[in-house]
A = this chain, B = another copy of it.
């Protein structure tokens, strides 16, 4: 992946080339998901425990339940985590595929 070596143009000759770079947008979106301390902690927590009910995550953070729920929604939309309804509770876990995608993006830099 990333055949960047063949795109070594002067860059000043084609300014429009970088106008729409879907890769950069995907990357930025994924990076943005972990661009907040609370979300970093949530991701770490889920990686360390494999699965965690929403209420426990709320207890781990000094934030209101609604705020945590909002962060969880952001992480879910990025694909980094998944939520599974378990009765009245919701069990969250990491989505390894997206986590690998993030790692591949960063390591590809």
Contact = CB atoms under 8 A, between A and B. Distances in A.
Interface residues of A, number: 42
A56 B21 contact: no
A99 to B, nearest CB: 7
Interface in A92-109: 99, 102-103, 106-107, 109
Interface in A32-76: 32, 34-41, 43-45, 47-49, 56, 59-62
Q: Main secondary structure on chain A at its contact with chain B?
A: helix
**Copies of this chain per assembly:** 2
A56 B15 CA distance: 9
A62 B11 CA distance: 12
A25 interface: yes
A91 to B, nearest CB: 15
Given A15-B59, A24-B37, A102-B109, 11 more contacts: A4-B44, A12-B60, A15-B60, A18-B60, A18-B61, A28-B37, A31-B31, A31-B35, A103-B107, A106-B106, A106-B107
